[in-house]
Amino acid sequence: MKKILFLMVAIATAAFAGEDAANETLKAYSVLAAGVGLGLAALGGAIGMGHTAAATIAGTARNPGLGGKLMTTMFIALAMIEAQVIYALVIALIALYANPFLG
């Protein structure tokens, strides 16, 4: 209950503050959101890359003849996983430098 009350007071403070204070609050929240978003994207990408590498190693250990084909497939999968993290970076940079919510 205290957390909800604190959140309501924080939002009300931003709402009743002047235009400059509201913009500064929005900028601060944008920086926080960009940092958390990039952190979560990097964490998810790292977990996905770890699972991909582990599966490739296990597949190569089971059938060494398919090692090259598995490696090629792994690199394609790693590129797709990394692309998602780069998309998160682009969105974070937009939120920081070209924030559409600032007037």
pLDDT at 14 over 70: no
Give the rounded percent of residues in the chain with a pLDDT score beyond 90: 50
pLDDT for res 4: 78
- For 34, residues 6+ apart whose C-beta sits below 8 A from its C-beta are 92, 93, 95, 96
Domain range annotation of the chain:
23-97
Residue 74 contacts residue 53 (beta carbons within 8 Å): yes
Topology of domain 23-97, per CATH? F1FO ATP Synthase (1.20.20)
Distance CA 94, CA 69 (A): 38
Comparing 98 with 70, the larger pLDDT belongs to 70
pLDDT digits (tens, 9 = 90+) for 35-76: 898 999 999 999 999 999 999 999 999 999 999 999 999 999
Measured distance between the N- and C-terminal CA atoms of the chain, rounded to whole angstroms: 33
Residue 16, pLDDT score:
64
**pLDDT surpasses 90 at 33:** no
Residue with the two structure tokens 């939002």: 11
Mean pLDDT of 3-12: 74
The pLDDT of residue 11: 72
Higher pLDDT, 49 or 2: 49
